[in-house]
Chain A
């Protein structure tokens, strides 16, 4: 297992380097540079030149890349053009909010998805199954921002249960700031269908039939034998869902005005803040890689059959 982890971590290095290069190139292909956007419609050419020189944007692209790359190896992601502060400190200031959202989202969405998925499997073909599957299919089919807007309209504007501004304004109870985005993740999640399918598949297995023929109680068959074995795809789904939720944070944080890395990234793209876009993307990529690695490790622990040959724990 240790060799496996080391190997995966080594593979992450070229991936991260690739992310850095791609983002560096792509962000600069979008028309409008930071000086034009940040200084606005009235900026003179001279003012734009002063800004470019000050922030090193007057240098050739390859020189800018070399500076960014050497800084990266020193652990320095540069200085944000729109905030005039080190990118690293800005991103780490916002990161806890995004991690918090992703964690709560995945935990609650998993609890509810597994619950509903098991219920649907238990009542296969009957009205609870049809209702749950129909509802989850609808949630999966709708774009996240659309679900988010409806959650906002219903729970904030109509019912007044949660604030519109999430954690931007002060004095709001903690749970209220998370309710909207977490509810959106739950409604848009794919876990119900995965759990249901997995449960149905397992319930047809021979060992379940054997357990039944031995006269074991239904709850024991369900929880110990069926759910335990159905967990493998569910755990995988949760892990990847956690990784994906970092990307999904861009939408959720924008809709619910949460001050996380996702909103930071959106704002940085709008203002063509190249170092901040690169930094935020890079750190999101690190978290996605780590989340994926963790998922693979946990999956390996849950199901020894899929451990990589020769990579036994210890």
Chain B
């Protein structure tokens, strides 16, 4: 190349100039780059009054001008959290992670399992247990100026679960088929009359599917608005965001309860990858995160971050399908139970933070049988049983697990322990959709999963009824005795009768050796050192009235 030195220098200078100019040009535009119209820069509260941006919407609350310091909490949830805001479509607390700070229920479930007033100040139950009269709190205002909360909202919120157009997946959870009528004698009284006694009615109304929605909002803005612009009476007002990207909430200064914290705004971002969540937290971009990974919980605790452990509504399960070979043989199932070393799991996977359990229903659930099953690790006994079952040279099968950061480690441990006891494990770590298709359709001889349930715990028992196979009876439990206990419990009219039958069902299930409950799995919430006051809630929901953030 015959380019003289002068040309090279000119060329280098020119290039440097171009690069500097382009860099300056790119730096010129500051602010939040989020181009979605609904997710803009965090504005001051005065110019971001909820509802102000939609012409014709009811007047926003006037007290937003009196906002103190703009304390913001950034919180990370997974993409599967809050896929929609309509309580009729909530499937689990993971769908309603943030809903508890926007919506409220008639009653509230405390950590000890008791039910206390929320939107209903008090209630009376008739002597026959068929009539519940709720006396509503007066002066509770809907967010964004939709007026006062009244009995009509309660009636609407419950009855819409029976509307086919709504497509509610929670009509059964609310036992709506057992409701004879819902009457509103006045604006502050609701009378629910049942066909049969239901000792768990208040618990049902305290759950995420019992959240009360605003009738005026529905009537004015249409049914779809419940999904995109939730209007509640709770601590925070939904203030934009897009499902799957982020949710923003601004403090409700007209809330009837007492704020002891100082958070004015919460921004929740949806991140699928747990490593990204940890990296963002380490970088100070998130104020608080929820996590199950015991390594990280221990690491953050050791570093001095405030850690809160939430109640145990989740267990780690290793289950088998008793309709499929080789687990159609009780001896093989017993061998499987002897092959799992729970102590090793607790020590090495959970760092001693979790406990063994006596049943497949989490111990904090109302109907859990806490001390029945006593684990015994005995790989030699397992080998003997396999030999008796005709598998002296190894018992081959396929084990399915989810290929995420949470699902793989317990599956790898299970593979190792089962292999030592004479099983030959073909491990299939697959994406969640593939996994759930296999287990639901009775194609998974063994499955490993962390699974949670509601504070009652009855759903975890009911799911193993014969008529739910194939389906959510992943273990193929087709057993008349089990069914009879569950049916008796479901139709029981006294609390004791329910306890007795649900406990009998759990004993039967554990004796069948189909679902091995390895240990509890509580969720940790870690916050930055300048953020404190996170409280534990029985439903594992997210509320911020007590949270304090200091500069």
**Which chain A residues have a beta carbon within 8 Å of chain B's beta carbons?**
30-33, 36-48, 50-51, 53-54, 82-85, 90, 93-94, 96-97, 100, 104, 107-108, 111-112, 115, 118-119, 121-124, 152, 156-157, 160, 163-175, 177-178, 203, 212, 217-219, 221-222, 254, 257, 259, 264, 267, 270-272
Contacts and interface: CB of A to CB of B under 8 A. Distances in A.
Given A44-B463, A174-B30, A222-B3, A36 B283 contact: no
B42 to A, nearest CB: 4
B172 A122 contact: no
A259 B280 contact: no
Contact of B432 (A45, A85, A168, A270): A270
Contacts of A257: 269, 271, 273, 276, 280
B172 A270 contact: no
Contacts of A44: 172, 463, 468, 471-472
B227 A203 contact: no
Interface string B80-98: 1001101001011011000
8 nearest A-B pairs in the assembled complex, by CB-CB distance: A32-B433, A218-B7, A54-B167, A32-B437, A96-B35, A31-B437, A177-B33, A164-B280
Nearest to B431: A270
Contacts of B436: 32, 36-37, 41
Contact of B169 (A50, A82, A164, A174): A50
Contacts of A217: 7
A82 B432 CA distance: 15
Given A44-B471, A152-B279, A217-B7, A170 B35 contact: no
B302 interface: no
A164 B22 CA distance: 24
A93 B38 CA distance: 9
B31 A174 contact: yes
Nearest to A115: B15
B294 to A, nearest CB: 21
Given A96-B35, A169-B269, A254-B272, 19 more contacts: A32-B437, A36-B436, A37-B432, A40-B80, A41-B449, A42-B459, A48-B471, A118-B11, A163-B280, A163-B283, A163-B285, A165-B280, A169-B246, A172-B33, A203-B1, A218-B7, A254-B273, A257-B276, A272-B433
Interface stretch (B193-201, B237-245, B499-507): B237-245
Contacts of B40: 170
B282 to A, nearest CB: 7
Nearest to A123: B1
A40 B95 CA distance: 10
A42 B463 contact: yes
Nearest to B80: A271
Contacts of B157: none
8 contacts: A36-B436, A44-B471, A48-B471, A104-B26, A112-B19, A168-B245, A175-B26, A270-B79
Contacts of B449: 41
Contacts of B4: 218
Residue of A51, A160, A168, A222 contacting most chain B CB atoms (<10 Å)? A168
Given A42-B91, A122-B11, A271-B80, A108 B244 contact: no
Contacts of B83: 38, 82-83, 271
B116 interface: no
Interface in B19-62: 19, 22, 26-27, 29-42
B228 interface: yes
Contacts of B276: 164-165, 257
B63 to A, nearest CB: 23
A93 B242 contact: yes
Nearest to A52: B167
B31 A42 contact: no
Given A32-B437, A122-B3, A272-B433, A157 B283 contact: yes
B438 interface: yes
Nearest to B89: A84
B434 interface: yes
A203 B273 CA distance: 49
B155 interface: no
Contacts, number: 232
Nearest to B243: A83
Nearest to A96: B35
A44 B276 CA distance: 33
Contact of A165 (B31, B285, B472): B285
Contacts of B283: 156-157, 160, 163-164
Contacts of B282: 157
Contact of B279 (A156, A170, A219): A156
Contacts of B280: 163-165, 169, 257
Contact of A40 (B10, B92, B168, B460): B92
A94 B438 CA distance: 33
Contacts of A160: 283
A231 to B, nearest CB: 16
A259 B34 contact: yes
Nearest to B15: A115
Contacts of A82: 83, 243-244
A168 B19 contact: no
B267 A169 contact: yes
Interface string B393-432: 0000000000000000000000000000000000000011
Contacts of A38: 83, 91
B367 interface: no
B91 A100 contact: no
Contact of B22 (A84, A108, A165): A108
A170 B8 CA distance: 44
A154 to B, nearest CB: 12
A188 B33 CA distance: 24
Nearest to B34: A167
B74 A169 contact: yes
B435 interface: yes
B197 to A, nearest CB: 23
Nearest to B2: A212
B285 A164 contact: yes
Contacts of A124: 1
Given A44-B471, A219-B10, A272-B433, A175 B285 contact: no
A259 B1 contact: no
Contact of B167 (A51, A157, A169): A51
B380 to A, nearest CB: 34
Nearest to A177: B33
B6 A170 contact: no
B18 interface: yes
A45 B468 contact: yes
B224 interface: yes
B451 interface: yes
A92 B296 CA distance: 37
Nearest to B227: A84
B549 interface: no
